[in-house]
Structure 1
């Protein structure tokens, strides 16, 4: 079955490579390498820095995968193919710090047995090959939505690292990927058996960490608390599931091996346990007190704010979301906790990153821009700061700030172009004129949109 899977995947790669070359107008030189030199001119530049302001009449020179210079429109550019951006706004590609590539965000009124579904998917080579192709297609949707770097925090088997490597080699069209593969949970814990492995004890948790290391992951993900739908009673979302000593054991070994640790935490108790035992990033977050603020600062940790997944449970009419009274009540606790966590962090100098927990109901792979809008609306930040957070700040928090996140010479050619100015209205990010990732360009990206998702979520943009 493994041989059949490899043949199926190889055929897929050959077709995708042909499609990528066609989409991007790329040519191979005599050594078989893809190389291009393009001059993107007649644009208004937003460089991604915290104090970014529109700068007109700029030209961005790209050689292969790198930005070589930012010059005036009138500068000579012999040897470069010129691309007229027609006064569009050029800015860094977005960076999504909380992605599950196994999901598409399709609304669902009924809970599914995800563990049983994953067992079936991974049961044979053919279904694994089909599932991997689907994961790659979801990664492509991230790119078409303007996201040029993603950080995955729980996925199927080793699919995320495979997708990362295939994208880097140009075999598939996808963003840069920082991959965690499967997370580490506990029996009955968050996502156990689906995008996380259930570890019964410290030894099993450390064994999974070693497997992740062998797969070449970039970070480690822990599922420390439950989530909205894990709670069995009203008022108990984010119940602590993982023992503090297990958190400590995994963090100590992960850090010894050079991996940062991200942790799903949706309660004040869970956040404290995570920070006390070595976690580097709190995913989602919860209301903070003075002790929690102190722990964040002592640990040097950051919070990855994710407003998108809780919003439908907290704010939708239950007739639309399908949420029970318990789920809506708990969804509101988590939603308020995530928002207040971000507000408190910002007020106390704790770094805040952005992710949207893509794959949850109503959270699609192409709509990360909505998270920026929610960050502005519910956390009170400026459009400028939201865009900075989703670009250079996220890049730095993810450890790739020297590679991407801003428009400057020497960095990766990762950028997007909009017709309108997102500093005036962040919904300008909804429709893109151009996406460039590692030098590869997609003109007029148009992912197929889910009309139900748009109809239900658009009222919350105002």
Structure 2
């Protein structure tokens, strides 16, 4: 496993990346050992001819729910109740583990070499993580949270999250989750679009501040970061005041919230993909109610405003898809970059930098992956076109390299209906 990748154009994932020609990336086993000029003696390496294509770091998706497919909802279908019923069926749960493995592999085939799961079925995420790490299956690197923690009538309560009834129970659930060696803890602090009961009330605070504080204190004592589902300004404030490390989704911030972000050294993980269908689709397509569309637009605009304000104030912003929500598949991370460019007005280069090195920094793995640098893991993708000119180049991946292992011309079965409807908003 000694490969020399040459005759291509390198986009290294760093902030000021420029296309680099006439360079060769040398890989031994899973590591990048050198980057040398064309013409250097590479005896002992198998040459991989990139044929003028673009070599860059693999994408990192910071917000994934492995059990979800992203298939559109049928008219009148309650996705939350459906998930709860499935989660209580032991026979279905056996099948769900296989489904999670399938979707983890799909992420990799789409060019995502690292995923961060933020609420999953039982302890499946850590089991799949360990199976991939040991070489027993092909998949991306996984940073896993397993089950999340919610409260009665809270977001994902009883489906992908334990239900805490006191600060003591919140603390106890952190310890229960920690027994399976997760990489982070996920809290469901507010409701979401589908939980809202009235217009203008998405992201209602569900988890009391004392619960948040207890869970964060225990997680930090155990050396674990805390990510939190938050979709209202009040929720963001409560989360940051009580120790949350990453705000998943977000909401329009005020000066107090921005100061809390800075004091806590916290980050936002923006997720534009799940809010877009509720906010922008015709309701005949999304099957969203008027209430859901109205509140979906509030959440969509809130995530955008949070990202813009954070960027303006040098607060890190990462990207994730919230895969599992309707119209959000395990093969469309590239769309999140397009939306980030389109709605938050960042450059193509900064969107790619965010989905690689910044995401690695937020996840705490920048010393391992996220850029093409000597000593880092060989997590790479190859595209025929230049994503710095058009991010849609990432839609078709010619090659994935995961920990040095080459997957040539990966193929994914896509859902035509999802492709058709989402393409209207590129």
Contact 1:115-1:193 at 8 Å conserved across structures: no
Give the distance between the partners of 1:112 and 1:332, measured in 2 at CA: 19
Structure 1 match to 2:235: 270
**How far has the Cα of 1:111 moved from its partner?**
3.1
Partner of 1:455: 420
Q: Output the CA distance in 2 between the equivalents of 1:364 and 1:296.
A: 30
Q: What is the rounded CA distance, in whole Å, between the counterparts of 2:155 and 2:45 in structure 1?
A: 51
Q: Distance in 2 between matches of 1:163 and 1:385?
A: 31
Check if 1:301 corresponds to 2:269. no
Match of 2:117 among 152, 169, 174: 152
**CA-to-partner distance for each residue in 1:104-163, whole Å, 9 max, x for gaps?**
111113433645645545643x54332211100000010011000111000000000001
Q: Is the 8 A contact 1:99 1:152 kept in 2?
A: yes
Q: Say yes or no: does 1:174 pair with 2:139.
A: yes
C-alpha offsets along residues 212-242 of structure 1, whole Å, 9 cap, x if unaligned? 1100000000000000000011110000000
1:318 equivalent in structure 2: 283
Residue 335 of structure 2 corresponds to residue 370 of structure 1? yes
Partner residue in 1 for 2:63: 98
Aligned counterpart, 1:239: 204
Residues 186 and 106 (structure 1), Cα distance of their counterparts in 2 relative to 1, 3 Å cut? same
* Residues 15-26 of structure 1: pairs in structure 2 closer than 5 A: none
Q: Structure 1: which 5+ runs fail to align? A: 1-35
CA distance in 2, matches of 1:338, 1:175: 27
- CA deviation map 1:250-269 (0-9, x unaligned): 00111111000000000000
Deviations 1:162-189, CA, capped at 9 Å, x for gaps: 0100010111111000000011001110
Compute the TM-score of the two structures, normalised by the length of structure 2. Answer: 0.98
* In 2: Cα distance, 1:386 partner to 1:117 partner: 32
Give the match for residue 48 of structure 1.
13
Shift, 1:428, TM fit: 0.2
Partner of 1:5: none
Matched residues in 2 for 1:449 and 1:380: separation? 28
Following superposition, the deviation at residue 73 of structure 1 comes to: 2.7
Aligned residue runs from structure 1 range 26-37, under 5 A = 36-37=1-2
1:115–1:192 CA contact under 8 A, matched in 2: no
C-alpha offsets along residues 326-385 of structure 1, whole Å, 9 cap, x if unaligned? 000000000000001000111111110111101100000010000000000000000010
After TM superposition, which residue ranges in structure 1, 4 or more long, deviate above 6 angstroms? none
1:111 aligns with 2:77: yes
Partner of 1:58: 23
Cα drift, residue 440 of structure 1: 1.2
CA contact (8 A) 1:280 1:301 kept: yes
Q: How many Å apart are 1:441 and its aligned residue? A: 1.2
SS at match of 1:308: helix
1:79 to 1:153, Cα distance in 2 relative to 1, 3 A:
same
User: Are residue 350 (structure 1) and residue 315 (structure 2) matched?
Assistant: yes
Residue 253 (str. 1) matches residue 253 (str. 2): no
Q: Which residue of 1 aligns with 2:357?
A: 392
1:289 to 2:266 alignment: no
Once the two structures are overlaid, the 10-residue window that deviates more, 278-287 or 80-89, is 80-89
1: CA distance, partners of 2:351 / 2:79? 36
Paired position in structure 2 for 1:221: 186
Q: How many residues align?
A: 425
Answer whether contact 2:86 2:93 (CA < 8 A) is retained.
Answer: no
Given the superposition, is the C-alpha separation of residues 171 and 118 from structure 1 closer, same or farther in structure 2, using an over 3 Å criterion?
A: farther
Match of 1:359 in 2: 324
Q: TM-score, normalised by structure 1?
A: 0.90
Quick one: structure 1 residues 113 and 366, their matched pair in 2 at CA, closer, same or farther if it must change by over 3 Å?
Answer: closer
Paired residues of 2:87 and 2:159 also in contact (CA < 8 A): no
Between the aligned partners of 1:341 and 1:279, the Cα distance in structure 2 is 16
Q: Distance in 2 between matches of 1:224 and 1:367?
A: 27
Q: Distance in 2 between matches of 1:139 and 1:361?
A: 18
Residue in structure 2 matching 1:419, options 384, 390, 393: 384
Report the CA distance shift for 1:371/1:43 in structure 2 as closer, same or farther (over 3 A). same
